[in-house]
Amino acid sequence: MGVIEKKSRKMRKLRTFQKALLIAAVGGVMVAIGAVPDFNKILKHLLNRKNDARFRYQANTVMRRLAAQGLITFEERGGKRYARATEAGERMLEFESLRKRSAQKPKRWDDRWRVVLFDIPERRRRVRDLLRTFMREFGFVRLQDSAWIYPYDCEDIIALAKANFHIGADALYMIVEQLERDKHLREHFGLPPAS
């Protein structure tokens, strides 16, 4: 295995580790790493770590990073330090959950296109750029500047995007039954040709 592959694998493990810590913080409360024995075993398994000191150091580093990103907060109770997910942390987990669900395509397409139109003013250009990235990550295809298309139900994803980016009135979700010249889209999404 080459150096780049090793770095890539390490980054994937760290992202998994961050998600695991965040999930634990959402699922209840967690003592800053050592209080939940099963959780310790799960995280050690995720990281393939045998050295407890290094594991604790890495876990605490990740927790500080999550706190700096505003995804978790720390609380003191009964002389112990607990981590709890913030609202932003819970939204991030919801986003990850939706991303996994969107990757699972239905066995049969319902012959309907989902189209999202948005009209975000220039003064909110950063939000517009983030939304474009969001749409690409979920597998949408750009039809025109602010028109995106997807073949499967994605109403939950769009609702989450509207809430996260505060664009409720600036975005429109449509279900389209007929679309001209959709051959390239059908090929892109691996859908059967039009009958």
Consecutive 10-residue averages of pLDDT for the chain (195 residues)? 59 58 48 42 51 67 79 79 76 70 75 91 88 87 92 85 83 90 91 83
Among residues 39, 41, 44, which one has the least CA distance to residue 27?
39
Among residues 93, 83, 92, which one has the least CA distance to residue 33?
83
pLDDT of residue 115: 94
pLDDT of residue 27: 46
pLDDT of residue 32: 39
pLDDT of residue 188: 92
Among residues 41, 17, 192, 20, which one has the least CA distance to residue 109?
192
Could you tell me which residues come within 8 angstroms of residue 38 by beta carbon, excluding any fewer than 6 positions away?
none
pLDDT of residue 33: 39
Q: Are 64 and 72 in contact (CB under 8 A)?
A: no
Mind listing the domains of the chain with CATH numbers? 3-89 (1.10.10.10), 105-189 (3.30.70)
The residue whose two tokens read 């994605």 is 154
pLDDT of residue 140: 92
pLDDT of residue 3: 58
Give the residues across from 83 on adjacent strands: 30, 74
pLDDT of residue 21: 57
pTM, two decimals, is 0.56
What angle do helix axes 37-47 and 52-68 make, rounded to 10 degrees? 90
